Copies of this chain bind each other. A is one copy, B any other.
C-alpha cells in the first residue's frame, strides 16, 4: 500500500479548471472554497504585468507588482524589451532559499541605452496610504501580516508603510551592500521557507505564477551562497518577453484577497478537517499561497 494521503499543499498554480459551482453547503476544505468562488472574487492578471522567461528547463511566468517598486519594474521592463535577459542565465540556486538569474552583461562598448535609466530609489517599502490591506487574523512575528490586491504583504503602523512579503515564489531584485539598491538585471525567486528577514531590505517586484517547480528543482550551486562554480552549470535563459509582446500571452487570474471567497479560503486552511485530527486554528502569512489559476477563454477580457 502506498501512503500518499499526506495532504497536498495549496499549489501556487491551480492548473485544473474550476468545476461548475455547486450549491453552497458546509465548505470545510480549501478545494471546495476555490471551486465555489464566484467569478467576481478573482482578478485578472494584467498582461502589462507579465514577463515570460524561457530557459532550457522550461519557462517561468513572472507577474509584476508595479504598485510596490515602480522604478525597479520600469527598469526590468526596459531590460526585457531590449533583450538584455536573452542569453542571460540562472547563476545561483541555494537550497531552502533562492533561485537567482541575471541579464546578459552589457558590453562596455555597447551604444547608449535608448532611454537612460536614472539611479533607482530604495523601493523596499511604500507609504501605506491608498493601499487596501486585508489583515490576516493571526499573530505574526515580524509585523502586521495581510494581503494587498492578491499579494502577501506586511504593514507597520509605526512607519505607516506596507511592503510585499518574501513568501515562496516571490521575486526580488538582487543588490550589493547599501547604498546599492540593485539595477533590476539580477532577480531572485524564493524557493524555501519564507526569508521574511529580507522584507523591507530589498525591492520585491512580483512572483512566479507558473513554472517555478522546474527551476526550484535545479541542482544547488556548490560555491558559497549556492552560486554555480562553473559557467557550464548555469541554466541559460534563451529569451525573456513582455506579456504585451507575446502573440498569445498566457492569461491568469489571482484570487481577490479582499473577497469573501479568500476569507473563506483562509478559514478553511486554518481549520481543516477530514485527514486532520487537530485543526491548526491559525495560519501564517506564507502558508496560505494566494490562489492563482489559468483563465479560461470565457474569463478573458473581451
Which residues on A are within 8 Å of B, measured CB to CB?
Answer: 1-9, 11-12, 91-98, 100, 102, 105, 122, 124-125, 136, 138-143, 167-169, 172, 174-178, 182, 185-186, 188, 191-202, 212-214, 216-220, 224-227, 269-270, 272, 274-284, 286-287, 289
B7, B174, B216, B284: the one contacting A196 at CB < 8 Å is B284
Main secondary structure of the interface of A (DSSP, over half): loop
Give every chain B residue within 8 A of A225 (Cβ-Cβ).
4, 6-8
Contact A283 B102 (CB under 8 A): no
Asked whether B278 lies within 8 Å of A2 as measured between CB atoms, the reply is no
Cα–Cα distance between A270 and B195 once the two chains are bound (Å): 11
Contact B213 A9 (CB under 8 A): no
Q: Which residues of B contact A92 (CB under 8 A)?
A: 4
Residues of B within 8 A of A277 (CB): 122, 124, 178, 200-201
Q: Name the residue of chain B whose CB is nearest to the CB of A142.
A: B282
Residues in B neighbouring A174, C-beta threshold 8 A: 3-6
| C-alpha gap A286/B169 in the complex (Å) | 17
Ordered by A's residue number, 13 sampled pairs between the chains whose C-beta atoms are within 8 Å are A3-B182, A3-B186, A5-B176, A5-B177, A6-B175, A7-B198, A11-B95, A12-B96, A95-B217, A124-B277, A177-B274, A192-B192, A216-B220
Q: Is A278 in contact with B200, judged by CB distance below 8 angstroms?
A: yes
| A186 touching B124, Cβ below 8 Å | no
Measured in the bound complex, the distance between the Cα atoms of B284 and A199 in whole Å is 13
B276 touches A201 (CB 8 A): yes
Nearest CB in chain B: distance from A174 CB, A: 4
* Residue numbers in B under 8 Å from A284 (CB-CB): 141-142, 194, 196, 284
A6 contacts which chain B residues (CB < 8 A)? Answer: 98, 100, 172, 174-175, 188, 198, 202, 225
Given contacts A4-B91, A95-B213, A200-B277, 6 further A-B contacts (CB under 8 A): A4-B100, A6-B100, A95-B212, A139-B140, A168-B192, A193-B193
Which one, B201, B212, B279, B289, contacts A278 given CB within 8 A?
B201
A96→B140 contact, CB < 8 A:
no
Please name all residues of chain B whose beta carbon is closer than 8 Å to the beta carbon of A182 when the two chains form the complex: 3
Question: Are B199 and A8 in contact (CB-based, < 8 A)?
Answer: no
What residues of B have a CB within 8 angstroms of the CB of A224 in the complex? 8
Closest 7 CB pairs of A and B: A138-B141, A139-B139, A95-B213, A3-B174, A141-B282, A9-B97, A197-B280
Q: Say how far A184's CB is from chain B's closest CB, in angstroms.
A: 10
Would B287 and A194 count as touching, CB distance under 8 A? yes
CB distance from A43 to the nearest CB of B (A): 23
Query: Are B216 and A95 closer than 8 Å at their CB atoms?
Result: yes
Smallest CB separation, A164 vs chain B (Å): 14
